[in-house]
Structure 1
Amino acid sequence: MSTDNLWRRLRGWLSAGPAGPVATPRPRVDASGPARVADSLRSLLDDPTIPASVRHELASDFGRIESMLARLERGELHVAVFGRVSTGKSALGNALLGREAFSVGVLHGTTTDAEQATLDEARHDGLVLIDTPGINELDGEAREQLAFEVAEVSDLVVFVCDGDLTREELDALNTLAATQRPLLLALNKADRYGSDELAGLLAHLRLRVAGLIRPEDVLTTAARPAAQRRVEVDAHGHERVVEQARPADVAALRERLLAIAAHEGKTLSAINAGLYAGRLTDQVSARIAQTRQAVAAKLIRHYCLAKGVAVALNPIPVADLLAAAGLDAAMVLQLSRVYGLPLTRSESGRLVAVISAQLAALMGAIWGMQLVASALKGMSAGLSVVVTAAAQGALGWYATVLIGRAAERYLIAGKSWGEAGAKRAVADIVASLDRDSILREAREEILKRLKSRRG
């Protein structure tokens, strides 16, 4: 199932309305939706058809699904905090938490990995903050990639800026919006602006992110306001400048996050988990397909060699072709088991007959050459027998490649030739293969086997 289809299906489970852009009103929650997603995650984790080798290769992804299932069952909402370095991302997280949970520095690179801590004021609501590296770090791609990977497993993104958005920030916002995560924009360091200037900047930002972020989700914060300076005069008339720290102003953002967690937390977590599970399912399917194709390729080559040598060694004209047909049917039978769609012997024979009929119509000249070579083999002597036999065996090899690949396509499509039918499918296989290179490899391999037997 594609990501878009999965998204629509999840929206159907979790809401009363269709999916829409991030900036549209969010759906009403269907209480059964998260439970259905949780059941889906358990089914994926417990699927007995997934090979152990694929589970091992994707161990970290399956571990992430287990983590998502656990947090879905706990009702947690994970929030990633993004932005450029020096916009105050980590400071904002600390202000929301009410403690120094994340590293804060004035230079680039203070946040080098994802960190998370439960929000104190929302402990029972299960809100979790995730700090991320700055998107414009000097070592660029690695940290930016880490940030976007964190976004994939977060339910909500708070993007932090400290002024008008740069081109880099807008690009990042568009990329994040494409992940289908709801976005909030926090204009931090709001204490640096006068009231009129701040109101104008806020209105400007709402216009720039229209369609990506709803107006009510563009908020101002001051995670670490500059100290307030005042002049004090002592008893002797001496003046001194005193700096008085000001408390952080993140109340509006905190209230917005708590409201989202209370009303939409389970829905967002379920949607995110379902989307990630959909991507993992696609990866699992791709890995299984790769494994099956590798096994099928070895199997087809094994039967090509067996058929090529059998045809070359059989001294009775035409009879060798009948024996070769039996090998093709056996090969198709084995291929059907590789792809988990086992055929009976009669079904396998009928499939070979259908493919062979299409090949005969497409390549009558080649089959004519094969019959002539079969007749010549019984009348030749010495090395010419070996050469002629190798030529005939190579043609048998090539025919087996075509039959194997055509049968493989039929099985991958779920025992179907598709709308275009068998003729088109077989023609596509013929067109996709390099006949000369296959025949050359076949002749060389068969000659080597025949000369070895003669010796």
Structure 2
Amino acid sequence: MSRRLRLLFAALAIAALLWLLFAAAERFLALAQRFLALPAPLQWTLGLVLATFAAAGLAVLWWLLRPRRRRRPLPVPDRASLEQRIDKLREHGADTGALAAELGDLDQRRLGARLYVALFGEISTGKSSLIRALAPDATLASDARGGTTRTVGHYDSILPDGRPLVLADVPGSREGGGEVREREARQEALRAHAVIYLCAGDLTRGQVDELRWLADFGKPLLLVLNKADQWGEAELAQLLDKLRAQSRGIASAVVAISAGGGERYQRRLADGSTESVERQRKPAIEPLLRALARLTAAGAEGLEPRREQAVLAGLHQRTGTLEAQTRAETAERIVRQYARRAIVGAMAAVAPGSDLVIQGVLATGLTRALAELYGVKLSEVQIEDFVRQARLTLRTGSSIVLAVAGNALKAFPGLGTLGGGVLHAFAYALIFDSMGRALAASLAERQTLDQDDADARLKTLLADAGSTRLRQLATLTMDTLREPRGE
């Protein structure tokens, strides 16, 4: 385009812009004149509405454009308190071997003073090829089923400045049926001083979640784009910009590399036939080596406090999960124990009104036992209120309980012909099993006695005609009745 044409287009663009500005100013003045002509009450009302919409618009704009806050690491428990929790779990019969082994590994690595770097990422992103490039003498186990790395492997390598490091090659995430291996990969990432997160393209939502998970534990991290040689220069620059935006505040640096690896191609022979040939591509990982040297400049000793915090934070979560599992198993035993007592009490309730006394005593004991298990302090008034509400629910739902119990016994040959006593005992078992399960679930979730929530759960369980639970209760009823004496 000639200079004269460019000047002409520029003049037309400026004229169009000026025309738009004048038109907007004229429109604004007309609206202002009409606004001032309105009655004062209407002016205030319309002004208030416009101000509200403007404030809402500014708030939305600020929410969209506000700077992102740096993610805070998860709270780190005191090691002594963590060890006490693990010891308490061991006393309750929980399997704490893995937790104790994690603490032992933490001490062992600290004393060894070796720098650990974990390679983390989804399957088939080239982690094994990168290990070969970083540690050429390493021997890697391969498996053709969706990714190569099946277990955690440690390999010695050397940084450009001569410092040694240990590379941890972990199983790839998002592998079908690989939940155990994925858990091992995450635990090994927490044990490392730094993490290389490898990707082979734009990040998926799952990969972004993994990066955020690592950031929550305060891990020093590099985001590395592998197979960079498959994009053009402009595409690669655009992809790197997107990766930097996705990992802002999480990754210390984003670099592009080519880890090499094998590639297959068809070669035509002199006789016209073709053969499949595999060749190794030369790795280009210099940007990664430079970024890794900067990231680990403090050395193992300087990075050890953050590594220890990450391990203890991970142990805190794992211990909490085991505590919840152990409490749930204990609650199950308590509920079963009181269901057995209810069966015995039902058969012993011969005097009029004695069943109400038995129900009250058992319900109070069950409530107190479960509250103590979940560490919820309850007053006698709270316990009485809950038992009173549970009794009301049982009275209004007694017909449903008996119907469910009767239908359940009919499903087991011989049980339905044993008389009303068996039906009465089974109904008691169903009542206390439902009450205990409802109360335990509510206490576990809310960490307080929420009567409305527990009552809603109780009503749902009383009407539940699920064959598995009823079969277990029927078996419990018959086993209890066959015993010489109840519990």
With normalisation by structure 1, the TM-score equals 0.59
Question: Residue 257 of structure 1 aligns with which residue?
Answer: 292
Question: Residue 218 of structure 1 aligns with which residue?
Answer: 254
Q: What letter matches 1:430 in structure 2? A: K
| Residue pair 1:90, 1:103 contacting (<8 A) in 2 also | yes
Question: Residue 57 of structure 2 aligns with which residue?
Answer: none
| Residue pair 1:398, 1:435 contacting (<8 A) in 2 also | no
| Change in CA separation of 1:50 and 1:203 when aligned onto 2, cut-off 3 Å | same
Question: Residue 241 of structure 1 aligns with which residue?
Answer: none
1:206 aligns with 2:240: yes
1:148: Cα distance to partner? 7.0
Question: Residue 19 of structure 1 aligns with which residue?
Answer: 70
1:146 aligns with 2:197: no
Map 1:268-279 to 2 at 5 A: 269-270=307-308, 272-279=310-317
CA-based RMSD of the aligned residues comes to 5.3
| Residue pair 2:343, 2:426 contacting (<8 A) in 1 also | no
Runs of 4+ aligned residues of structure 1 deviating over 6 Å after TM superposition are 107-110, 122-126, 435-444
| Residue pair 2:151, 2:170 contacting (<8 A) in 1 also | yes
1:308: Cα distance to partner? 0.8
Map 1:322-341 to 2 at 5 A: 322-336=357-371, 338-339=373-374
Instruction: Write the distance in 1 (CA, Å) between the matches of 2:180 and 2:376.
Output: 40
| Change in CA separation of 1:400 and 1:124 when aligned onto 2, cut-off 3 Å | farther
Question: Residue 357 of structure 1 aligns with which residue?
Answer: 388
| Residue pair 1:219, 1:252 contacting (<8 A) in 2 also | yes
1:309: Cα distance to partner? 1.3
State the percentage of identical aligned residues. 16
| Change in CA separation of 1:410 and 1:206 when aligned onto 2, cut-off 3 Å | closer
Question: Residue 118 of structure 2 aligns with which residue?
Answer: 79
Question: Residue 169 of structure 2 aligns with which residue?
Answer: 131
Map 1:414-433 to 2 at 5 A: 416-418=448-450, 422-423=451-452, 425-433=454-462
1:326: Cα distance to partner? 3.4
Instruction: Write the distance in 2 (CA, Å) between the matches of 1:304 and 1:407.
Output: 16
| Residue pair 1:394, 1:442 contacting (<8 A) in 2 also | yes
1:96: Cα distance to partner? 3.6
Instruction: Write the distance in 2 (CA, Å) between the matches of 1:128 and 1:405.
Output: 49
Instruction: Write the distance in 2 (CA, Å) between the matches of 1:18 and 1:270.
Output: 24
Q: Residue 323 of structure 2: which of 282, 285, 310 is its match?
A: 285
SS at match of 1:130: strand
| Residue pair 1:158, 1:185 contacting (<8 A) in 2 also | yes
1:128: Cα distance to partner? 2.8
| Change in CA separation of 1:336 and 1:286 when aligned onto 2, cut-off 3 Å | closer
Map 1:360-399 to 2 at 5 A: 360-364=391-395, 397=429
**Cα deviation digits, residues 312-331 of structure 1 (max 9, x gap):** xx3x3224543553344444
**Cα deviation digits, residues 159-202 of structure 1 (max 9, x gap):** 557xxx457x7577445424335342144686x99xxx5x5454
Q: What letter matches 1:93 in structure 2? A: I
With normalisation by structure 2, the TM-score equals 0.56
| Residue pair 1:101, 1:117 contacting (<8 A) in 2 also | yes
Question: Residue 101 of structure 1 aligns with which residue?
Answer: 138
Number of equivalenced pairs? 364
| Change in CA separation of 1:96 and 1:397 when aligned onto 2, cut-off 3 Å | closer
1:280: Cα distance to partner? 0.6
| Residue pair 1:187, 1:218 contacting (<8 A) in 2 also | no
Q: Residue 158 of structure 1: which of 196, 199, 221 is its match?
A: 196
Q: What letter matches 1:295 in structure 2? A: R
| Change in CA separation of 1:111 and 1:288 when aligned onto 2, cut-off 3 Å | closer
1:439: Cα distance to partner? 10
